[in-house]
Amino acid sequence: MEQFWSMLPQVVIDGLTLGFVYAVVALGYTMVYGILEFINFAHSEIFMFGAFVGAETLLFLQSAGVLNTMPALLALLVALIVGAVLSGFLGVAIERVAYRPLRNVGKLVPLISAIGVSFILQDVVRLVEGLWHNAFYVNYPTLFSQNLHLTKNVNVPVKTLIVIVTALGMMVALTAFVQKSRMGKALRAVAQDPTTASLMGVNVNGVISLTFFIGPALGGAAGVLFGMQYSLIHPYIGFILGLKAFTAAVFGGIGNIPGAMVGGVLLGLFETLGSAYLGMATGGVVGAEYKDVFAFVILIAVLIFKPSGLLGEVVRDKV
Amino acid sequence: MDKFKSMLTKPWMSYLVALLAMGGAALTVSVVPRSLFAFLFFIGSVLLVYYLPLSTKAKLFFVLIGTLVLMPIIGSFNLYYMNVATQVGIYVALALGLNIVVGFAGLLDLGYVAFYATGAYIYAIFASDQAGNFIHFAKFPLAGEWFWVFLPLSLLAAGITGILLGLPALRLRGDYLAIVTLGFGEIIRIIFNNLDKPVNITNGPKGITPIQPPALFGFTLNKPIYYYFIVMGIVFFVIFVTRRLEHSRIGRAWAAIREDEVAARAMGIPLLRTKLMAFAIGASFAGMMGVVFAAKQTFIDPSSFTFMESIGVLAMVILGGMGSIPGAIVGATAVVMLQSQVLKSFSEFLAQLRDSGILNIPTQLEPAKFERLVFGLILVVMMIFRPQGLIPAKRREMELLEEKADRPAKGEES
C-alpha cells in the first residue's frame, strides 16, 4: 500500500503526458468524423510523419550548429510549426487524392482506401529514412534535460511539462477557433448538415480541406511532442497510438471536440494507472504487458454500453 | 470474353479449348522448373475452364483433373510448385472466408487473422506437450489421428469465437466494427504472446514446437503432397459451401443488408442474426485452416498472426473483387505470388547486383521488406479505379457502378 502511494504522483504525471498526446491526436479523428462520418485511418501515420519531420528539422538545426546556441523553446517551436504545417499539407493532399473521389461510394470503400494510405505512408517514410540515414529508427535530439524535483520521489522532467502546456495551448486555440471564428462557424455548419450549409453559401469542399489541414496539423504537432517526450521514433509508432487515440475519440464521444480532449486524457491516465498497478493488484499474473489490451477493452466496453461516448449526443442513423 | 465465347459454337470446341489449355499449362509447368509465369498459366487455365460454356459437371471434371491429378504429379518431382500451390490454397480458403464477411455481408473485418490464430493454437496446444502443463489426466502430445477431430472442432471453436465477438461488435455501425475487430485481432495476439504465465498455455513469444503432423491409421502424413491434398480438400469444401450459400436465403439476406440495411430490416431480415451468421461462417473457415497451418509448419508463434496478415487477406479479397468467388481465388493467388515470389526474387536480384558491386543498395531497402507498401497500393488503387475488383461479382459490380452514377457532378455536395 505504501508503494502505491509513493508511486502515484509519478504515475499520474506520466499518465497525463500520454493522455495529452492521445487527446491531440484524437482531435484529428474526431474533427474528420464530425464532418464526413469517416474514420481517417491514415491519421495515425500523419502523426508518425509529423514526428519524423520534427526530428529531421531538429537534426538539421543540429547539423547547422545552431541547435545548441538557440534557446531550446525556439527550436521546439520551429520543429512544431514545420511538423504541423507539413503534416497539414499531407493531410489535405491525402484527402484530395484518396478520399475525395470516393466520397459518396458507401462507407466501406473510403475506409479501405484510408487503410491503404496508412500502409503506404509507413513504408514510404521507412524508405526515405532508410535512404537518408541508412536506418529508420531516429533519436530526437535532447532539448530539455532539466528535472524539477517536486518531492523526494517525484521528478518532473521539464520536457513533460512542456508537452502538457503545449497540448493544452493547442486545444484552447482549436476550441477558440471553432467556437469564435467565422471559419469555425462554417465548420460547425457543415458538420451539422452539409447540404444546408452549402445552400447558405458555405464552401463545403473548402471546409473539408480545412478540416483535413487542421486535424493532421494537430496530429503532426502531437508527433513532435511525442518524439520529444519519448525520444525514439520509428515508422510504426503510429499504428497502436492511433488506435488508442481513436479509442479516446470514441470514449469522449466521436465528433465532439471537448469529448476527444477529455477522452484522451482519461485514457492516458487509465492506461498508465493500469499498467502500473495491475501487476500489483493481481500478484503479477496480469501485468504491464497487457496495457494495450486495456485500451481496447475500454473501447469495446464504451461501444457496447455507451456508444455515444461521454460527451457525445445520441445520433440516429439518417435514412 | 463474350466475343470469345460466341466463337465456341459447338460444345466439342469448348472441350477442345479446355483440354488444350489444361494440357498446355500442365506441360509448361512440368517443363519449366520454378517459374512464376508457368504457375500463373496453370491457374489461368483453371480459370479459363471456369468461364467456358460447359456443363457444371464437365467444368468440375477438368478442374478436379487439373488440381488433384496433374498438379500432384508435377509437384511430386518439382516440390517448388507443390509448395506454392499449397501456400496459395491456404490463402484461397482464408480469402473465401473473409469474402463472406466483407464481400457478401459488407462487414469490414480487420481482425480476421485472429480466428486463424485461434484454430492454429487450439491444435498446436493439444498436439504438442504444451497441454500437459495444465491437463494432467491425459498424455500429450495427442496422436496425429486427432488432427481429423480438430478440423471440425476448430471450425466450431472459431465460429463460436466469431459469435462471441460479433454479438457486441455487430450491434455497432459498420465503421466501428472495423476498429473493434482490429482491436480484437491485436488483443488475441497479445494474449497468446503473454499466456505463458501464470500457467504456461501458449509458451508466449517463444512459440510452440514441435507440433504433431496429421496421421491416418497410424500412417504419418508429413510430406508436402499430403498437405497439398488436405489443403485442396478444405478449399473444395469451402468453395462448395460458399457457392451454396451465395444464392441461398441467407446469402440473399446478406446482399440485402449490404445494399441497404434499413430496407433489409423493413423486409423482416433479422439484422444481428444474419450478420452473426456471416461472421461465424467466415471465422470458422479461418479456424479450420489454422489447424492445417499449425500442422504443416510444426511451429507457430504469435508473430505469424499480425495485423499485416489480416490486411494481406483483405487485399486478396479487394483485388479479386468483393463478393466474387473466382475473384477471391485469383486475388489470393496474385497476392501470394507477389508476396512470396515476386518481391523475394526482386530482392535476390538486387542482392546479386550488390554482391557483384554494380549497385549498392542498403539491405534494409530490400523490396521483400516493403509488403506494406504493396498492400497499401493495392488497396488504394483498387478502391479508386476498380472498386469491383479484377473479376467482379455481377451483383456487386452493378451496385458499385450505380453508386458511382448516383454521385453528384464535380464540385457539388451531397
Provide the pLDDT for residue B363: 66
Q: Which of residues 45-64 of A touch B (CB under 8 A)?
A: none
Highest mean pLDDT among A142-151, B19-28, B282-291, B373-382: B282-291
Instruction: Please report which helix (H) or strand (E) contains residue B197, including its range.
Output: none
Tell me: pLDDT of A319 over 60.
Answer: no
Tell me: pLDDT of B126 over 80.
Answer: yes
Count Cα neighbours of B326 within 13 Å in the Cβ-side half-sphere. Answer: 15
- CA–CA dist A130, B95 (Å, integer): 33
Provide the pLDDT for residue B3: 61
Provide the pLDDT for residue A22: 93
CATH 1.20.272 at B85-356+369-394, yes or no: no
Provide the pLDDT for residue A295: 81
User: Among B198, B365, B372, whose Cβ lies nearest the Cβ of A131?
Assistant: B365
Tell whether A111 is within 8 A of chain B (Cβ). Answer: yes
Domain locations in chain B? 1-77, 85-356+369-394
Band of the pLDDT at B130, cuts 50, 70, 90? confident
For residue B329, the SS3 value is helix
- CA–CA dist B295, B289 (Å, integer): 10
Contacts of A107 in chain B (CB under 8 A): 174-175
Average pLDDT of the residues in A173-201: 90
Q: A53-103 pLDDT, tens per residue?
A: 999 999 998 888 888 788 888 888 999 999 999 999 999 999 999 888 888
Task: Return the higher-pLDDT residue of A303 and B258.
Answer: B258
For residue A233, the SS3 value is strand
Provide the pLDDT for residue B128: 81
Band of the pLDDT at A186, cuts 50, 70, 90? very high
Beta-sheet pairing, B215-216 with A147-149: unpaired
Contacts of B411 in chain A (CB under 8 A): 205
DSSP line for A67-111: TTTS-HHHHHHHHHHHHHHHHHHHHHHHIIIIIGGGTTSTTHHHH
Band of the pLDDT at A220, cuts 50, 70, 90? very high
Q: B293-309 pLDDT, tens per residue?
A: 998 888 888 888 888 88
Share of chain B above pLDDT 70, in %: 89
Tell me: pLDDT of B95 over 90.
Answer: yes
The nearest CA of chain A is from the CA of B102 a distance in Å of 9
- CA–CA dist A214, A35 (Å, integer): 13
Structural domain for A233, as ranges? 19-305
Assigned domain for A9 exists: no
- CA–CA dist B240, B236 (Å, integer): 6
Band of the pLDDT at B274, cuts 50, 70, 90? very high
Q: B56-85 pLDDT, tens per residue?
A: 787 777 778 777 777 777 777 777 778 888
Provide the pLDDT for residue B403: 64
The nearest CA of chain B is from the CA of A27 a distance in Å of 17
First to last CA, chain A: 55
Task: Return the higher-pLDDT residue of A185 and B411.
Answer: A185
Q: Are B201 and B130 in contact (CB under 8 A)?
A: yes
Q: Are B70 and B26 in contact (CB under 8 A)?
A: yes
Backbone angles phi, psi at A155, to 5 degrees: -115, 130
E strands present in A229-274: 232-233
Tell whether A206 is within 8 A of chain B (Cβ). Answer: no
For residue B184, the SS3 value is helix
Contacts of B193 in chain A (CB under 8 A): 289
Tell whether A119 is within 8 A of chain B (Cβ). Answer: yes
Tell whether A313 is within 8 A of chain B (Cβ). Answer: no
List Cβ neighbours of A279 (8 Å cut-off, separation of 6 or more).
A286, A287, A288
Give the CATH number of the domain where residue A76 resides.
1.10.3470
Q: B335-357 pLDDT, tens per residue?
A: 888 877 777 777 777 777 777 77
Band of the pLDDT at B412, cuts 50, 70, 90? very low
Tell me: pLDDT of B410 over 60.
Answer: no
User: Among A102, A135, A304, whose Cβ lies nearest the Cβ of B383?
Assistant: A102
Average pLDDT of the residues in A201-217: 92
Task: Return the higher-pLDDT residue of A37 and B275.
Answer: B275
3-state secondary structure A269-315: HHHHHHHHHHHHHCCCCCCHHHHHHHHHHHHHHHHHHCCCCCCCCCC
Mutate to test the interface with A, among B102, B107, B171, B179 (most CBs of A within 10 A): B179
Tell whether A124 is within 8 A of chain B (Cβ). Answer: yes
Task: Return the higher-pLDDT residue of B402 and B222.
Answer: B222
List Cβ neighbours of B119 (8 Å cut-off, separation of 6 or more).
B154, B155, B157, B158, B286, B287, B288, B289, B290, B291, B293, B294
Tell whether A243 is within 8 A of chain B (Cβ). Answer: yes
Band of the pLDDT at B100, cuts 50, 70, 90? very high
Band of the pLDDT at B413, cuts 50, 70, 90? very low
The nearest CA of chain B is from the CA of A230 a distance in Å of 22
* Closest to A32 measured CA to CA, from A257, A270, A230: A257
Average pLDDT of the residues in A179-202: 90
Share of chain A above pLDDT 70, in %: 95
Contacts of A106 in chain B (CB under 8 A): 403
For residue B146, the SS3 value is helix
Tell me: pLDDT of B326 over 80.
Answer: yes
Q: Are B339 and B308 in contact (CB under 8 A)?
A: no
Q: A2-26 pLDDT, tens per residue?
A: 777 777 888 888 899 999 999 999 9
**Are residues B311 and A204, on separate chains, in Cβ contact within 8 Å?**
no
User: Among A116, A243, A246, whose Cβ lies nearest the Cβ of B377?
Assistant: A116
Q: B149-201 pLDDT, tens per residue?
A: 889 999 999 999 999 888 887 877 767 788 888 888 888 888 888 887 777 78
Provide the pLDDT for residue A110: 87
Tell whether B191 is within 8 A of chain A (Cβ). Answer: yes
Q: How far is CA B268 from the centre of its chain?
A: 32
Tell me: pLDDT of B409 over 50.
Answer: no
Provide the pLDDT for residue B411: 41
Tell me: pLDDT of A42 over 60.
Answer: yes
**Is the torsion defined by CA of B263, B267, B268, B269 positive or negative?**
negative
- B63-94: buried (b, 16+ CB within 10 Å) or exposed (e) per residue? bebbbeebbbebbeebeebbbbbbbbbbbbbb
Contacts of A45 in chain B (CB under 8 A): none
Contacts of A206 in chain B (CB under 8 A): none
Provide the pLDDT for residue B287: 93
* Closest to A22 measured CA to CA, from A266, A275, A224, A273: A266
Mutate to test the interface with B, among A115, A118, A302 (most CBs of B within 10 A): A115
Residue of B nearest to A113 (CA): B380
SS percent in chain A: helix, strand, coil, step 5: 75, 5, 20
Assigned domain for A161 exists: yes
0.80 cut: is pTM over it?
Answer: yes
List Cβ neighbours of B4 (8 Å cut-off, separation of 6 or more).
none
**Are residues A102 and B384, on separate chains, in Cβ contact within 8 Å?**
yes
Provide the pLDDT for residue A216: 94
Task: Return the higher-pLDDT residue of B321 and B356.
Answer: B321
The nearest CA of chain B is from the CA of A269 a distance in Å of 20
Assigned domain for A113 exists: yes
Q: B23-55 pLDDT, tens per residue?
A: 777 777 677 766 777 777 777 777 777 777 777
Q: Which of residues 74-133 of B touch A (CB under 8 A)?
A: 102, 106, 108, 110
Angle at B170 between CA B168 and CA B171, to 5 degrees: 70
**Are residues A194 and B314, on separate chains, in Cβ contact within 8 Å?**
no
The nearest CA of chain A is from the CA of B110 a distance in Å of 10
Tell whether A296 is within 8 A of chain B (Cβ). Answer: yes
Q: For the beta carbon of residue B252, count every other beta carbon within 10 angstroms.
A: 16
DSSP state of B212: P
Band of the pLDDT at B375, cuts 50, 70, 90? confident
- The residue with cell 470458422 is B284
For residue B322, the SS3 value is coil
Provide the pLDDT for residue A317: 54
